[in-house]
Structure 1
Amino acid sequence: MSGPVARRAIPADAAGINAVYNPYIRDTAATFELVEHDEAQRRRWIEERCADPRHPVFVAEDESGLCGFANAGPFDPRGAYATSVKVSVFVGFGRQGRGAGRALYEALFEALAATDVHRAYALIVPPNPASVALHERFGFVHVATLSEVGRKFGRYWDVMWFEKRF
């Protein structure tokens, strides 16, 4: 492999996705989730996402195996928001900067462009200049910052909202 390759996730990727994501839950404020996912939960999550073309999940693999994932999910459960999605991308610790995020977002946005998605939103907890740069590379624009909207590790965190138009 010359670099990470993205493909659609399947339920068998659950453990690999958790291996990437659970350390972010446990050790960082990059996600505001507080409880790690188990494999059964993650399998269900993948299966649910596979059922809606606006909410795909992609994984990236390199020579060492699954190294990251990206997904789109509902912006809000109310019907009028159906054409807006929230997106995220996570690359395993020590594996960033090698093209996995780019490969994942290329695949995700190509898939979303074939649906009726009108807007994508990404939430970034600052400071995270690498994530900001990746999102801006894919046409996201910073549209708002919510001040101290989340509390994790005994402190409050801001969240920057980025928007991509399709």
Structure 2
Amino acid sequence: MDIRKGYLSDIAGITDIFNFYIEHTNARFEVAQFSIENRQEWFSQFSSNPKHQLFVATENGELLGFACSQPYRDISAFEDTVEVTVYLASTAKSKGIGSKLYARLFSSIVDHGVHRALSGVALPNDASIALHKRFGFREIGIFNEYAKKKGEYISSVWLEKVLNVESN
């Protein structure tokens, strides 16, 4: 298995993974599937700021998952804060791939002035919460039934990780 920076050529595989979660889970709140064009626009954020990174896991030409750091909010007050996420292909779960992706992501962004990493996890998702806690995240709180998909309310736990303890 190879963990490397994501390339534009990975967009089809990334789109497939996103769409699986949109269609089959509440991890994504969208109801309409993403298009490759939509994800190409999303991909452009990873080329302009070293705090925003995308890594993919591949094996034998197959994209197994990805992890990324993205802007939390698009205003200067949050320039040292990122939102991180990891998604795996349904066939790649429980193999340590998420941990390898996060390890690579955090080692990449820690030297670029990222102060806090945040992540929201739709509930229930014990595996994702456990993964985040293994990487030093702590629970901040729960947004209870704040989203609705397919007629059901969804709650999310929000977690944070300190990356840069020095003040900027």
TM-score tier (shorter): over 0.9
Cα RMSD of the aligned pairs, angstroms, is: 1.2
Structure 2 equivalent of residue 55 of structure 1: 52
Q: CA deviation at 1:64?
A: 5.8
Which of 15, 18, 23 is equivalent to 2:15? 18
Contact in 2 for aligned 1:141/1:162 (Cα 8 Å): yes
| Deviations 1:88-120, CA, capped at 9 Å, x for gaps | 000011210112101110111011101111000
TM-score, L = length of structure 1: 0.93
**Change in 2 beyond 3 A, CA 1:64/1:97:** farther
Of 133, 138, 145, the residue aligned with 1:136 is 133
Amino acid across the alignment from 1:135: H
Q: Distance in 1 between matches of 2:140 and 2:45?
A: 29
Q: Which of 33, 38, 42 in structure 1 is aligned with 2:30?
A: 33
Q: 43-52 or 78-87: which moved more? A: 43-52
Moved over 4 A (4+): none
How far apart are 1:73 and its partner, in Å? Answer: 0.8
Aligned residues: 163
Structure 1: runs of 5+ lacking an equivalent: none
Q: Which one of the candidate residues 106, 121, 131 is aligned to 1:109?
A: 106
Unaligned runs of 5+ residues in structure 2 are 164-168
Q: In 2, distance between residues paired with 1:159 and 1:57?
A: 23
Report the AA paired with residue 21 of structure 1.
F
Aligned residue in 2 for 1:95: 92
Identity of aligned residues (%): 34
